[in-house]
Structures are given as structure tokens and as C-alpha cells.
Structure 1
Amino acid sequence: MKIEQMYTGCLAQGAYYIVSNGEAVIIDPLRETRPYLERLHKDSVSLKYIFETHFHADFVSGHLDLSRKTKAPIVYGPTANPEFEAIVAEDGQVFEVGNVKIKVLHTPGHTMESSCFLLMDENGKETALFSGDTLFLGDVGRPDLAQKATDMTQEELAGLLYDSLYHKILPLNDCITVYPAHGAGSACGKNMQKETTDSLGNQKKTNYALNQEDKEHFIKAVTDGLLPPPAYFGMNVAMNRKGYSSFDEVLSNGLQTLSPEEFEETAEHSGALILDVRSNGDFAKGFIPQSVNIGLDGDFAPWAGALIIDVLQPILLVTGENEQEETVTRLSRVGFDHILGFLKGSFDAWKKSGKETDSVNRISVRQFKEEIKNKEVKVIDVRKEGEYNAQHVNRAENKPLAYINEWIRTIDPSEHFYLHCAGGYRSMMAASILQARGYRNFTEIEGGFSAIAVTDIPVSNLICQSKSMK
């Protein structure tokens, strides 16, 4: 038997590949199927089942394409209602894969169909728990995402999650290895550990949610401090439940090359968003007017989902050299399938064609220090609230990037302000959105708070970030 965790850092997501005696299963696959097909071919095994722990909200699963290409059936837990052919398993149902068995444990709470898969080895020993979004390392799945679909409050869903965890998961043996669907950085939880696997016994000791004295305290603990979920989550759930275009088709469309003239004409007639995925440093120096910058070198896909939101939005790409396929792939993982092509020759080709360009007013920290000396200025910090609370420029306002579509309306275009994040990645995203919507009276600070903190620019006292985020 072999268990392989296929972890994708950008989404903080874990898919799982299990092989036993010539047969394999894949749990919660990502959108692109090639990595899985290559492993199946390399190991000379057939895919018997594709297990889905629930209808994912933060990414579009590869279950449909993988099933079409391998003929393996898709398996969900009880109460799932997919609009395509699938096995909706019963609670406790056992599936045989080679010499091992996988038992379905229905664990509603995160969503109603949420299920964990318990692996029993060749000797019948319970060995591994693929816990989906029911149990994370250090946390549990947020219970607020399925409210609209179930007509239940987050407190009622949290109560179901308590029953699932305390009656079905906690009684399992301590030596079982937990393989969660997500790790630190995912918006599906609030307190995840950086590790991606752990023993169930250690989680029983260290996971705050598994150490509540009763259901009432559990409900309060897991619902306290939940931030609003990214707006694209509901659209991803719908795609996972209803179906979607083939990834091969999405990739083919997205890899169409466009000359500067074709690119400009397409942008004008399609209403497409121009998405520039180059580094924030390159973007600051020059870009196509109205472009939005989300750098491929960071948490690209989640930010695309959070900021663009509408998965039906047509998109035109400006990328670095040989980054086109990776960009289309990562966008498709969060449901952006309407990619019309990319600019051949990138921004250099646009610039050489003599077409209009734009830039961001970016200054160094040294210049920032000089400009604010003995002055009262407005500073906007787009980091998360916890980062801001830990330490920030004195009198700076905290306006997290994730909520820019709300706070941008409060900006006075006649009042100049300075803009920064931790290092420049998020503040350049904010700058691009501000300029695309007509706000230009600001200056972005290169290097962000990381550069500010090593100067004598006045900042607040440092507070442990873990405490500030409680």
C-alpha cells in the first residue's frame, strides 16, 4: 500500500493518491488531471474510485474530467446531490481497493454531505483518516458556508459538526494518521497548523476544537472570529455540484496568442478584464491601462477568486515568459474558465507597438520617510487585521485588501494617501484596482511594512500576532 499527499501550496490544498495491489483511488483531486494520470501510468495501476469529501468551495475539483478519462466512478458521502452520475454512499459503507478498504464516515457540519474516509490496511487495521474539511490540523471546518443551502444557522451547523467530531472521530484510535484537505493559509479555517499531516492522538491533545467541555462551548469556540468567506466560494460550490467545462478546453482557449492589436480589439469588444500576473516590481514600472495586477509569484488563485469574484468574467492575460499555461491552470482551479488568450510578447510587445501605457507611483521607504517628516499624512495599510494589530505605522488606517470592493467607495479622491502591505505584493494589487477605477491620488511604498519596520519611522509597539488575532 502507498499513500501520497499531493499538496498545492497556492491553495493550501491536499489531494491524496492511494495504491494497493494494482488499484488506486484519488481523494479531492485538483482541476488538472495530468499529474494523476501520470502517476497511474507510472505505477501501472487502474483508478477504481474518485472520492470527494464534499462539494468544495475554495477550488474546483478535477473529479469530472478524471472520471471521464479513467471511467472511475465518483463517490460522495450521504445526502450529496450532484447533477451528474456518481455514487452517493451510505454512512459506514466500505469500498475495497486492492487489499485495503475505505470506510465512509458521514460527518456533517462544514457542509451537510461532508464525509471523512477511514482507511483500513491489509490486516484490517484502521490506519489513516482523510478528513476533508471536517477536521484540520489545529482547527475544524468553518460551519458558516452551508447556511443558505440548508436554511440552518452557523450555530446549528456547528452543533452538527460537534456531533460528527465527538461521536465519530474522537473515538478512533490515537495512532491513526490524519490527512486533511487543507492547511495553513486556507480560508476554510481560522487556526490551522503549518504541518500537513499529524496523528489523531496529537490532534486530540492540541486542537482547541477537540478540547471543549461541551457542545455549547464548542459552538462558541468554532464560530468566534470567523471572517466573511471569499465571495467566489458559492460559485465554486455550484461548479463542483453541477459540472463545468473540460480543463483541456479551458487550457486550449486560454493559450491563444494575441498580438497587441488583437489584444486591444478583444479587450474593447469582450468586456474582458486585463489580468497582469507579472511581479509587482515589473508591473509598477509599466502596464496596459486598466490592468489589474495579481502576481503569479504569490497566493495567486485565492486572490484572483477574492478580487475578481465572478467566475464568468472574461479575462485577457499579460504574463511573464512561459507562464501562460501555469496561469490558466491556476485560474481554472478556482473556476475562471473564460480566458480569451494572452498577449504575445507580454508588456514589452505592447510598449514597442506604441500603445498607451500606465504606471504606479511607487517610492522607496527612504523617500517615504523624507516625505512624511514633520507632516501629518494619511497612510492606508492593506494587510490583514491581525498583521495590522501586531504592529503598524502610527495613525495608519487598516483597510484589508480582501475587502477593497467595499472600502474603495469610502476613499476621497481629492485626499492624497500612502499605500502599503507587508512587502508590496498586496499593495500593488490594491494600487492596480484603485487606478483601474479612477483613483490616482496615492503613492505606493516599495517593500511595505517589512522595509518600514527597520527604519526609525514611528510605529506602534509590537504585539504577538497570535494574540492580536484572537
Structure 2
Amino acid sequence: MKIEQIYTGCLAQGAYYIESNGEVAIIDPLREVKPYMEKAAGENAKIKYVFETHFHADFVSGHLTLSKETGAPIVFGPNANPSFDAIIAKDGQEFKLGDITIVALHTPGHTMESTTYLLRDEKGKDHAIFTGDTLFLGDVGRPDLAQKAADMTQEQLAATLYDSLRTKIMPLADDVIVYPAHGAGSACGKNMMKETVDTLGNQKKMNYALRADMTQKEFVKEVTEGLLPPPQYFPLNVKMNKEGYEDIDTILERGTQPLSPEAFEAAANETGAVVLDVRHQDDFVKGHVPRSIFIGLSGDFAPWVGALIADVQQPILLIAPEGKEEEAVTRLSRVGFDNTLGYLKGGFDAWKKAGKDYDTVTSVSANAFKKALSEGKVPVFDVRKESEFVSEHVDKAANTPLSFINDHLAEFPSDDTFYVHCAGGYRSMIAASILKSRGIHNLIDVAGGFKAIKEAGAPVTDYVCPSTLK
């Protein structure tokens, strides 16, 4: 028996390759499925099943393509009603895989079709659970994403999740291994641990949601408390996972069309496409196509695209480092952005050589920023999360989290110069690009972000109770 977790850091997502005696099951595959197929072929094994724990909201799964390419049936749990052929497992239904058995345990609550897959080894002993978004390490799946589909409140879904955990998962032995669908950084939970594998026994000790003496009322309160609004693209990904999507090869062929500067400019004007610059922030600051949006491949690329562009149907034109065009299109497709129309051949250098207008971002060092603070009052906007800001921030700075920057546009000065920063420079450059695309050019980025600001000795404020923030 072989179990391999295939973890994608950008999405904080875990897919799983399980093999026994020449037969393979894939759980929650990513959009690009060739790695799973190549791995099985290399082991002289056949993919027998594609298991889905639920209809994912934060990424588009590769279940349809993988099933088409291998002939393996797709398996969902009870209550799933996809628009394509699939096995809808009954609670407790067993699936033989070589010498092992995979059992579908219906664990509704995150969504009503959510299912945990229990793996029993060659001797019939409970070995591991693949929990999807039902149980994370340190947390559980948020219960507010499926309210509309389930016609239930988040409190009702949370109560359902409480029952699922206590009747299906907590009775299992402490040595059972927990393999979740996500880790720290995912928007599908609140307090996930950085680890991606643990034992159920340790989770019973560490995870607040598995406290033995916890009442259902206490569980509902804790699980629903402090939930931030989900990204706007989540329901669109659910729809694609449930109803279907284009093949990844079609998307790659369309998205990797090279365009000359003239053709690129014409396409942008004719289609209303977002010009997405995925280079490093240090390159974007020196020069970029006017009104282009920066979201660099080097950071949490796909989630930020989903959070800030939101509409998966939005046409996109790419400016990418040479050789990174296919990677960018692939990573966009992971979160459902399939409408990439091509990329700027020769990159930004070709745009400049063609004599096209370009823009820059004014950026200063943390020391220069510190000097400006000492010389008088200057507006400062911190685009980190509220939790980061509350912990420590520049004196008198305003908190305008990047995820909700469009809600804060009226707060930025229209004429006076202001400074913007994040933790290290990535998010503030995204913010700067969005502000400039909206005609707000009187900004200065602080290179290196709060880390550099603090090292420079600028005045900062420690913890402030959130209720006192304005």
C-alpha cells in the first residue's frame, strides 16, 4: 500500500494518490491531471477510482478530465447531484482497491454532500481518513459556503457538522492518520495548523472543534464566530465542479497564444480583457503596461486572482516572464479562470521597444519612509489582514486589507501623497496596481513592507483591541 500527499502550496491544497496491488485511487485531484497518470504508468498501475470529498469552492478539480482520460469512475458521497455521470456512494459503501478497502463515510456540515473516505489496510484495520473540508488540522471546514445550495443557515450547517464529527470521525481510533484537503493559508477554514498530516488522537487534543465535552451550542458559536466573507469566485468554482468545464489542453492552447505588442494592445481594447502582469514586483515597479494589474507568480497567485478579479469569465491577457506563460495559464485554470486570450510575446521589454507608453510605481526604502514620518504627518495605508494589523502596525496607519481594497477606495486621498505597505512588498504592489488602474496615482510603495519598516526603527504600535479600531 502506498499513500502520497501531493500538496500545492499556492492553494494550500492536498490531493492524494493511493495505490495497492496495481490499482490506484486519486482523491481531490488538481485540474492538471497528467502527473497522476504519469505516476500510475510509472508504477505499472491502473487508476481505478477518482474520489471527490465534495464540490470544491476554492479550486476546480480535475475529476472530469481524469475520468475521461482513464475511464475511472468519479465517486461522490450522498446528496451529490452532478450534471455528469458519477457513482453517488451510500453512507458506509465500500470500494475495493487492490488489497485495501475505501469506505465512504457521509460527513455533512461543510456541505451536505461532504464525505470522508476511510482507508482500511490489507488486514481490515482502520488506517487513515481523507477528510476533505470536514476536518482540518486545528480546525474544521467553514459552514457558511453551502447555505444557499442547502437552503440552510450557517448555524444549521454547523450543527450538522458537529453531529458528523461526533458520530463518524471521533469514534475512530487515535492512531488513524488524518489527511485533510487543505492546510494553513486556505480560505476554507480559520485556524489551520501549518502541518498537513497528523493522527486523529493528536487532533482530539489540539483541535478546539473536537473537544470531548463541547456542546453543540458551543461548537456552533465557535465555528461561526469571526468568519470573513468568502472570496467571490467560490460559488463559481462550485458550479464548474458540479456542472463541468473545458478540457485543460484546450485552455492551455488558447491561453498560450503569443501576441505582438500591437496585437496585444488591440486585443485589450476590443475584448475589455484585464491585463495581468505576473512578473516579480521588483520588475513591475520599474515599468508596466498602463492600467495593468500586478499579481506575481512568486506569491499566492491563484487565490489573489480569485479574490480580486472575482469573475471567472473575465477575459485575461498575460504579461509573464519568458518561459512562465504555460505555468500562469495552468495556475489560473486551477481556480476557474479559463478565459486567458494570450500573452505579450517578448514580455514587457517588447512593449517598451515598440515605443508604447508605460507606467511605473514610486517606491521608497523603509529608511526613507521613516524619515518622511519624522518630518510630519503623512497618510499611511496598511493592506495586510486585520489580524496582522491588530498585532502591530505603523503609528496612525489606516488598515485597508487587500482582500477588500475595492471597499476602501473612497478612503485614499485624491490629491495628497500617501504611502502603502504590506508585510513584505507583494501585497502592497498588488494594491498599488489596483489603485493606479482606478486613476489613483499619488501613492508611494514602501519596499520590503512592515518587516523592513520595523527593522528601520520606524514608530510602531503594538497590540490594539479590535473594538477600538476605526
The answer to whether TM tops 0.5 is: yes
Name the counterpart of 1:112.
112
Report the Cα offset of residue 462 of structure 1: 5.6
* Partner amino acid, structure 1, of 2:74: I
* Partner amino acid, structure 2, of 1:355: K
Report the Cα offset of residue 415 of structure 1: 3.4
Range moving further from structure 2, 345-354 or 414-423: 414-423
What secondary structure does 1:316 align onto?
strand
Name the counterpart of 2:314.
313
Range moving further from structure 2, 174-183 or 364-373: 364-373
Aligned positions, number: 466
Name the counterpart of 2:447.
446
Moved over 6 A (4+): none
Report the Cα offset of residue 464 of structure 1: 12
Distance (whole Å) between structure 2 residues aligned to residue 213 and residue 462 of structure 1: 30
- What CA deviation, in whole Å up to 9, does each residue of 1:125-181 have, x standing for no partner? 110000000000000000000011112111100000000001110000111000000
Distance (whole Å) between structure 2 residues aligned to residue 21 and residue 440 of structure 1: 62
What secondary structure does 1:78 align onto?
coil
* Partner amino acid, structure 2, of 1:102: I
Name the counterpart of 2:388.
387
Name the counterpart of 2:192.
192
What secondary structure does 1:41 align onto?
helix
Name the counterpart of 2:430.
429
Contact 2:23–2:46 at 8 Å: present in 1 too?
yes
Distance (whole Å) between structure 2 residues aligned to residue 400 and residue 217 of structure 1: 30
Distance (whole Å) between structure 1 residues aligned to residue 254 and residue 371 of structure 2: 49
Distance (whole Å) between structure 2 residues aligned to residue 92 and residue 31 of structure 1: 28
* Partner amino acid, structure 2, of 1:36: Y
Name the counterpart of 2:284.
283
1:210-221 matched pairs, under 5 angstroms: 210-211=210-211, 213-221=214-222
Distance (whole Å) between structure 2 residues aligned to residue 66 and residue 217 of structure 1: 41
- What CA deviation, in whole Å up to 9, does each residue of 1:402-436 have, x standing for no partner? 00121124434123311000111000000000001
Name the counterpart of 2:88.
88
Q: TM-score, normalised by structure 2?
A: 0.98
Report the Cα offset of residue 263 of structure 1: 0.6
Change (3 A) 1:464 1:396: closer
- What CA deviation, in whole Å up to 9, does each residue of 1:384-413 have, x standing for no partner? 011101110000000100001211244341
What secondary structure does 1:453 align onto?
helix
Range moving further from structure 2, 370-379 or 28-37: 370-379
Contact 2:372–2:378 at 8 Å: present in 1 too?
no
Q: TM-score, normalised by structure 1?
A: 0.98
* Partner amino acid, structure 2, of 1:16: Y
* Partner amino acid, structure 2, of 1:62: G
Name the counterpart of 1:256.
257
What secondary structure does 2:461 align onto?
coil
CA RMSD of aligned residues (A): 1.3
Range moving further from structure 2, 300-309 or 454-463: 454-463
Name the counterpart of 2:245.
244
Distance (whole Å) between structure 2 residues aligned to residue 272 and residue 380 of structure 1: 29
Name the counterpart of 1:375.
376
- What CA deviation, in whole Å up to 9, does each residue of 1:253-294 have, x standing for no partner? 111111111111111111110000001110000000110000
- The unaligned stretches of length 5 or more in structure 2 are none
Distance (whole Å) between structure 2 residues aligned to residue 461 and residue 85 of structure 1: 55
Distance (whole Å) between structure 1 residues aligned to residue 223 and residue 9 of structure 2: 24
- The unaligned stretches of length 5 or more in structure 1 are none
Name the counterpart of 1:39.
39
- Identity between Structure 1 and Structure 2 (%): 61
- What CA deviation, in whole Å up to 9, does each residue of 1:426-455 have, x standing for no partner? 000000000011111111111110100012
Distance (whole Å) between structure 2 residues aligned to residue 213 and residue 327 of structure 1: 45
Distance (whole Å) between structure 2 residues aligned to residue 410 and residue 235 of structure 1: 30
Distance (whole Å) between structure 2 residues aligned to residue 71 and residue 2 of structure 1: 22
Name the counterpart of 1:235.
236
1:265-284 matched pairs, under 5 angstroms: 265-284=266-285
Name the counterpart of 1:330.
331
Contact 2:314–2:337 at 8 Å: present in 1 too?
yes
Distance (whole Å) between structure 1 residues aligned to residue 381 and residue 413 of structure 2: 13
Distance (whole Å) between structure 2 residues aligned to residue 370 and residue 141 of structure 1: 45
* Partner amino acid, structure 2, of 1:298: G
Report the Cα offset of residue 463 of structure 1: 7.8
Distance (whole Å) between structure 1 residues aligned to residue 458 and residue 135 of structure 2: 43
Name the counterpart of 1:147.
147
Report the Cα offset of residue 374 of structure 1: 3.2
* Partner amino acid, structure 1, of 2:80: A
Range moving further from structure 2, 405-414 or 350-359: 405-414
1:18-167 matched pairs, under 5 angstroms: 18-167=18-167
* Partner amino acid, structure 1, of 2:121: D
Distance (whole Å) between structure 2 residues aligned to residue 409 and residue 50 of structure 1: 48
* Partner amino acid, structure 2, of 1:234: P
Distance (whole Å) between structure 2 residues aligned to residue 230 and residue 168 of structure 1: 30
Distance (whole Å) between structure 2 residues aligned to residue 205 and residue 364 of structure 1: 45
